[in-house]
């Protein structure tokens, strides 16, 4: 085409970004990489090809790590950790240098990322790499502030990190920056499709003064990931990737004591109300589902449009899709690049071909060869259709309609996932009403896919747990300085040879839905005092009693939307009513334990109730300083329905110490009472009954902790399980929790000092941080 022809056609021509610097860097390594361990390269071992998905050409040969390599990396990380953890301000400088280095080499990183991953250069250049630099800047600041702001916390140790191929360097930053800032050392494995920017990062890290062993990069496939997960000398696993692999990691680490954060899949709703700026909402979809070829865990992939505007919206959306330009990812005038690998392309193709919906593929030319899939819209689907439920992880949007805001919320939440949600409306009342009702870790109002280091990111339900970014993200890489002691098993007093029983029988029941309930199984256990006195009987709860308790918690969902002020009053009232019966509780405790600590325990329990009443209206969220005109609100929301095993040793204080924070933060809770000393809990339900606690908010079960641990851990309708039991339940709960990937907080055989409220730990366990982004401007 000559100038005159183009003058008439007004076509976009090619606008290629040069790959030569990136290719030079690969060539300087002879196109062959070992692992980055202890501050240097290992010799390449058994290698595999890293390909450019847009062309199929091999970019480099990357090594498949062996167990020996992983061991060496972990050993180097362990060796380096102590001294790395010593000086937070020195770490700040290293992180600052890394941030600067990313900026200085930004184009090299961007081009290499695009070559390796297939994403448009526009995205790697304007989004990925700037966010990477931002993450290191932000966490340089966190290292600087650590001693002042987190005086009670310290590094976990060695972090094993496994990241996906969709944002290779950005996910590295999300993992490495907070870990290093808090004094951990890391062993990171990039995805096998996209190892190259991680290797470049390692190569350049020398220039930032990262000490040997602090950062270790091992490459390879899932087998290497498993070596990291299973490694006994790793303290924490951070994983971003598919829900199925996340579930396996949850199972594999169960009971190991390794800390775990999982950022998994999603099927995020994208809600368009009829008063929205429809053109902007359509443009938002371009950023939601055609960003990075739709290979985004939080992609707005499930379109929900209000019925009255749906046809017009679809028509305009299809017209917009036709304008998207597919092609060479290195072209600066391209919207959609290549899917990461032929395997992924086939998955997408098969899923779409199997759909019954109305499939519209953008009428935009597809490049020859390479892994390209056209932007696709599938309408006319119902929630029951497979594509409305399953993550496609490609440039495919599925859509359906709704009638009312309430129905929009129901449809949005009708999913196993809970990562992100987007809503469009010009009505501030509607926006601020709907955002908190969406079950997800992130909500974007009139925008989509906004990210920042200051704003927490992460999901609920099967989208995983833990947050990355912000102060909340640091919890995943720190632990309390104070070590916990080993827990002693507390056994019930054995039945005496000669029984002493009261003349009048007193029967403790289970407490479910605000009512006393006989145990479903029809079995009870006698509770003896150490002196051989029969103190009463308690029911042995079974799985059906647990089921009933969860149903009761469902019925009490209104509790989660009550005000903190109201919850405070009820907690105070419980304290007041407990105080009125202090002597009775004290003697009951003494009778069960055979000790004299009852009075002090009751007083501490009343105090604990007052503490949590105080907190009920004070655990404020934050308004995050994100670099947009707008606010990112970090709202502390209740986790939902919690199942808990109370401490065995402190029958009342241990109970109150978990019920009260759960209640204060708006959760509903079902507690297995202290197994050896259950009667304080059954007496306590009478206090609840007289204190205006709505039925179902607190349910109390009695019986064997071990019997119910698997049931509680595996219950699909529980959002979290806590265990402070002196029975060894941690492994079974964590393993069973993999089913719906609920949060767990188990003691791993460590004892808690119930004399302390430890508010920080309970506040964070009893809440989920939801980040609500609200850009504004008129």
* Contact flag: residue 19 with other proteins (CB under 8 A): no
Q: Is residue 721 a contact partner of residue 742, using CB atoms and an 8 Å limit?
A: yes
Q: Which position among 38, 192, 335, 391 is part of the footprint of other proteins (CB under 8 A)?
A: 335
Alpha-carbon distance 166 to 158, whole Å? Answer: 25
Nearer to other proteins, 309 or 693 (CB): 309
* Contact flag: residue 778 with other proteins (CB under 8 A): yes
Q: How far is the CB of 173 from other proteins (least distance, A)?
A: 21
Q: With CB under 8 A, what is the number of residues at the site for other proteins?
A: 41
Q: How far is the CB of 317 from other proteins (least distance, A)?
A: 13
Q: How far is the CB of 676 from other proteins (least distance, A)?
A: 59
For 42-114, where are the E strands, in sequence order?
Answer: 47-51, 58-63
∠ CA(361), CA(343), CA(250), 5° rounding?
Answer: 110
Q: Is the dihedral of CA 118, 124, 129, 135 positive or negative?
A: negative
- Single out the segment in contact with other proteins by CB under 8 A; choices: 272-280, 481-489, 678-686, 742-750: 272-280
* Contact flag: residue 703 with other proteins (CB under 8 A): no
Q: How far is the CB of 338 from other proteins (least distance, A)?
A: 17
Helix H or strand E encompassing 698: strand 698-701
Burial of 154 (0-12, 13-18, 19+ CB in 10 A): middle
Tokens of 670: 């079902």
- Single out the segment in contact with other proteins by CB under 8 A; choices: 118-126, 356-364, 530-538, 726-734: 118-126
Tell me the H-state helices in 298-420: 307-322, 342-353, 386-389, 405-413
* Contact flag: residue 10 with other proteins (CB under 8 A): yes
* Contact flag: residue 775 with other proteins (CB under 8 A): yes
* Contact flag: residue 284 with other proteins (CB under 8 A): yes
Q: How far is the CB of 206 from other proteins (least distance, A)?
A: 32
Q: How far is the CB of 359 from other proteins (least distance, A)?
A: 24
**What torsion, rounded to 10 degrees, do the Cα atoms 517, 518, 524, 527 define?**
30
**Residue appearing with tokens 């007052």:** 610
Q: Spell out the residues 6+ positions from residue 214 whose beta carbon is closer than 8 angstroms to its own.
A: 77, 80, 81, 84, 180, 185, 186
Tokens of 601: 């325990």
* Contact flag: residue 277 with other proteins (CB under 8 A): yes
* Contact flag: residue 333 with other proteins (CB under 8 A): yes
Q: Is residue 613 a contact partner of residue 568, using CB atoms and an 8 Å limit?
A: yes
Q: Which position among 276, 352, 377, 732 is part of the footprint of other proteins (CB under 8 A)?
A: 276
Tokens of 416: 């196993």
Do you know the residue count of the chain? 778
* Contact flag: residue 222 with other proteins (CB under 8 A): no
- Crossing angle, helix 679-689 and helix 564-580, to 10 degrees? 120
* Adjacent-strand bridge partners of 359: 378
* Contact flag: residue 125 with other proteins (CB under 8 A): yes
* Contact flag: residue 627 with other proteins (CB under 8 A): no
Q: Which position among 43, 486, 498, 629 is part of the footprint of other proteins (CB under 8 A)?
A: 629
Beta strands at 358-361 and 300-306: parallel, antiparallel or unpaired: unpaired
* Contact flag: residue 11 with other proteins (CB under 8 A): yes
Q: Which position among 46, 312, 346, 386 is part of the footprint of other proteins (CB under 8 A)?
A: 312
Nearer to other proteins, 333 or 432 (CB): 333
Q: Which position among 45, 130, 212, 630 is part of the footprint of other proteins (CB under 8 A)?
A: 630
Q: How far is the CB of 731 from other proteins (least distance, A)?
A: 48
Tokens of 566: 């109201």
* Contact flag: residue 354 with other proteins (CB under 8 A): no
Nearer to other proteins, 323 or 544 (CB): 323
Give the x/- contact pattern for other proteins in 63-102, rule: CB under 8 A: ----------------------------------------
- Single out the segment in contact with other proteins by CB under 8 A; choices: 158-166, 466-474, 593-601, 628-636: 628-636
Q: Spell out the residues 6+ positions from residue 400 whose beta carbon is closer than 8 angstroms to its own.
A: 303, 304, 305, 379, 380, 381, 382, 383, 388, 411
* Adjacent-strand bridge partners of 532: none
* Contact flag: residue 776 with other proteins (CB under 8 A): yes
Nearer to other proteins, 12 or 523 (CB): 12
Nearer to other proteins, 312 or 386 (CB): 312
* Contact flag: residue 279 with other proteins (CB under 8 A): yes
* Contact flag: residue 2 with other proteins (CB under 8 A): yes
Alpha-carbon distance 199 to 202, whole Å? Answer: 5
* Contact flag: residue 323 with other proteins (CB under 8 A): yes
Beta strands at 396-402 and 300-306: parallel, antiparallel or unpaired: parallel
Nearer to other proteins, 11 or 350 (CB): 11
* Contact flag: residue 12 with other proteins (CB under 8 A): yes
Q: Quick one: which of 226, 175, 222 has its CA closest to 201?
A: 175
Q: Quick one: which of 572, 636, 585, 629 has its CA closest to 768?
A: 636
Tokens of 694: 């709505």
358 is catalytic: no
The upper half-sphere exposure of residue 505, i.e. CA atoms within 13 Å in the direction of its Cβ, equals: 6
Burial of 449 (0-12, 13-18, 19+ CB in 10 A): buried
Q: How far is the CB of 137 from other proteins (least distance, A)?
A: 21
* Contact flag: residue 6 with other proteins (CB under 8 A): yes
Tokens of 28: 């300087």
For residues 591-620, which are near other proteins according to CB under 8 A?
none
Q: Which position among 24, 57, 152, 275 is part of the footprint of other proteins (CB under 8 A)?
A: 275
Nearer to other proteins, 571 or 774 (CB): 774
CA distances in angstroms from 156 to 179, 258, 260, 594, listed in the order given: 9, 10, 11, 39
Q: How far is the CB of 363 from other proteins (least distance, A)?
A: 13
Q: Spell out the residues 6+ positions from residue 368 whose beta carbon is closer than 8 angstroms to its own.
A: none
* Contact flag: residue 421 with other proteins (CB under 8 A): no
- Crossing angle, helix 543-555 and helix 705-714, to 10 degrees? 50
251 backbone dihedrals φ, ψ, rounded to 5°: -65, -40
- Single out the segment in contact with other proteins by CB under 8 A; choices: 4-12, 207-215, 297-305, 585-593: 4-12
- Single out the segment in contact with other proteins by CB under 8 A; choices: 55-63, 152-160, 332-340, 494-502: 332-340
- Single out the segment in contact with other proteins by CB under 8 A; choices: 181-189, 278-286, 410-418, 697-705: 278-286
* Contact flag: residue 296 with other proteins (CB under 8 A): no
Q: Quick one: which of 397, 428, 401 has its CA closest to 412?
A: 401
* Contact flag: residue 446 with other proteins (CB under 8 A): yes
Q: Is residue 508 a contact partner of residue 517, using CB atoms and an 8 Å limit?
A: no
* Contact flag: residue 428 with other proteins (CB under 8 A): no
∠ CA(634), CA(89), CA(163), 5° rounding?
Answer: 55
Nearer to other proteins, 283 or 500 (CB): 283
Q: Is residue 399 a contact partner of residue 314, using CB atoms and an 8 Å limit?
A: yes
Nearer to other proteins, 564 or 630 (CB): 630
Report which DSSP code applies to 487: P
Nearer to other proteins, 310 or 769 (CB): 310
Alpha-carbon distance 158 to 237, whole Å? Answer: 9
* Catalytic annotation, pick one of 263, 601, 637, 734: 263
* Contact flag: residue 363 with other proteins (CB under 8 A): no
* Contact flag: residue 126 with other proteins (CB under 8 A): yes
Q: Which position among 68, 82, 332, 481 is part of the footprint of other proteins (CB under 8 A)?
A: 332
* Contact flag: residue 300 with other proteins (CB under 8 A): no
Q: Which residues bind other proteins (CB under 8 A)?
A: 1-7, 10-15, 122, 125-126, 275-281, 283-284, 312, 323, 332-333, 335, 424, 426, 446-447, 628-630, 775-778
- Enumerate the active-site residues: 263
């Amino acid at each position: 085409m000559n100038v005159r022809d183009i003058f008439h056609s007004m076509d976009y021509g090619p606008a290629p970004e040069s790959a030569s610097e990136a290719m030079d860097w690969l060539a300087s390594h002879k196109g062959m990489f070992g692992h980055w361990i202890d501050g240097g390269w290992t010799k390449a071992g058994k290698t595999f090809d890293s390909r450019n998905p847009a062309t199929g050409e091999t970019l480099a040969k990357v090594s498949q790590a062996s167990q020996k390599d992983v061991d060496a990396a972990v050993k180097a990380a362990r060796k380096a950790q102590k001294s790395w953890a010593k000086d937070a301000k020195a770490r700040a400088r290293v992180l600052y240098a890394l941030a600067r280095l990313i900026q200085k080499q930004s184009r090299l990183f961007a081009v290499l990322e695009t070559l390796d991953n297939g994403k448009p250069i526009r995205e790697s250049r304007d989004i990925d790499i700037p966010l990477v630099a931002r993450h290191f800047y932000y966490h340089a600041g966190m290292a600087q502030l650590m001693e002042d702001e987190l005086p009670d916390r310290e590094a976990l140790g060695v972090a094993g990190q496994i990241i996906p191929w969709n944002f290779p360097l950005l996910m590295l930053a999300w993992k490495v920056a907070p870990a290093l800032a808090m004094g951990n050392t890391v062993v990171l494995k990039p995805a096998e499709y996209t190892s190259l920017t991680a290797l470049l990062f390692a190569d350049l890290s020398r220039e930032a003064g990262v000490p040997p062993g602090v950062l270790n990069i091992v490459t390879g496939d899932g087998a290497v990931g498993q070596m990291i997960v299973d490694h006994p000398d790793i303290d924490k696993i951070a994983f971003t990737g598919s829900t199925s692999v996340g579930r396996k990691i949850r199972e594999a680490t169960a009971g190991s004591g390794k800390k775990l954060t999982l950022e998994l899949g999603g099927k995020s709703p994208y809600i368009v109300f009829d008063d929205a700026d429809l053109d902007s909402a359509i443009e938002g979809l371009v950023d939601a589902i055609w960003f990075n070829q739709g290979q985004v865990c939080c992609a707005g992939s499930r379109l929900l449009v209000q019925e009255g505007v749906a046809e017009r919206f679809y028509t305009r959306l299809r017209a917009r899709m036709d304008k998207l330009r597919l092609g060479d990812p290195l072209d600066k005038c391209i919207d959609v690049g290549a899917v990461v690998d032929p395997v992924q392309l086939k998955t997408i193709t098969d899923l779409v071909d199997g759909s019954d919906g109305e499939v519209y593929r953008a009428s935009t030319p597809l490049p020859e060869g390479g892994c390209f899939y056209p932007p696709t819209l599938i309408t006319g689907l119902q929630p029951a259709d497979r594509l409305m439920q399953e993550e496609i992880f490609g440039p495919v949007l599925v859509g359906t309609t709704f009638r009312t805001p309430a129905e929009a919320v129901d449809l949005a939440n009708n999913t196993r996932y809970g990562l992100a949600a987007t809503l469009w409306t010009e009505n501030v009342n509607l926006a601020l009403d709907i955002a908190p009702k969406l079950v997800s870790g992130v909500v974007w109002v009139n925008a989509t896919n906004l990210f920042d280091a200051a704003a927490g990111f992460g999901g609920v339900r099967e989208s995983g747990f833990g947050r990355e970014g912000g102060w909340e993200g640091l919890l995943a890489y720190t632990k309390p300085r104070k070590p916990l002691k080993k827990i002693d098993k507390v056994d019930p007093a054995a039945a005496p040879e000669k029984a002493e029983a009261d003349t009048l029988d007193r029967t403790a029941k289970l407490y479910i839905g605000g009512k006393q309930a006989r145990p479903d199984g029809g079995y009870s256990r006698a509770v003896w005092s150490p002196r051989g006195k029969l103190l009463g009987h308690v029911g042995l709860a079974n799985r059906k009693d647990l089921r009933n308790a969860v149903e009761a918690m469902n019925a009490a969902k209104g509790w989660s939307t009550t005000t903190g002020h109201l919850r405070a009053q009820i907690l105070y009232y419980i304290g007041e009513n407990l105080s009125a019966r202090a002597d009775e509780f004290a003697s009951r405790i003494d009778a069960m334990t055979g000790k004299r600590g009852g009075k002090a325990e009751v007083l501490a329990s009343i105090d604990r109730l007052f503490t949590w009443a105080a907190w009920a209206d004070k655990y404020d969220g934050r308004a995050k300083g994100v670099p947009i005109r707008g606010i990112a609100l970090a709202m502390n929301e209740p986790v939902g329905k919690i199942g808990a095993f109370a401490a065995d040793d402190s029958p009342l204080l241990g109970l109150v110490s978990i019920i009260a924070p759960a209640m204060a933060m708006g959760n509903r809770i079902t507690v297995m009472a202290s197994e050896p000393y259950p009667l304080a809990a059954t007496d306590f339900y009478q206090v609840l009954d007289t204190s205006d606690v709505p039925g179902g908010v607190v349910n109390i079960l009695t019986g064997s902790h071990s019997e119910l641990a698997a049931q509680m851990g595996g219950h699909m309708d529980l959002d979290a399980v806590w265990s402070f039991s002196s029975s060894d339940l941690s492994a079974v709960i964590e393993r069973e929790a993999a089913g719906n990937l609920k949060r767990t907080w188990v003691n791993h055989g460590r004892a808690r000092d119930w004399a302390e409220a430890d508010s920080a730990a309970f506040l964070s366990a009893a809440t989920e941080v939801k980040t609500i982004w609200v850009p504004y401007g008129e």
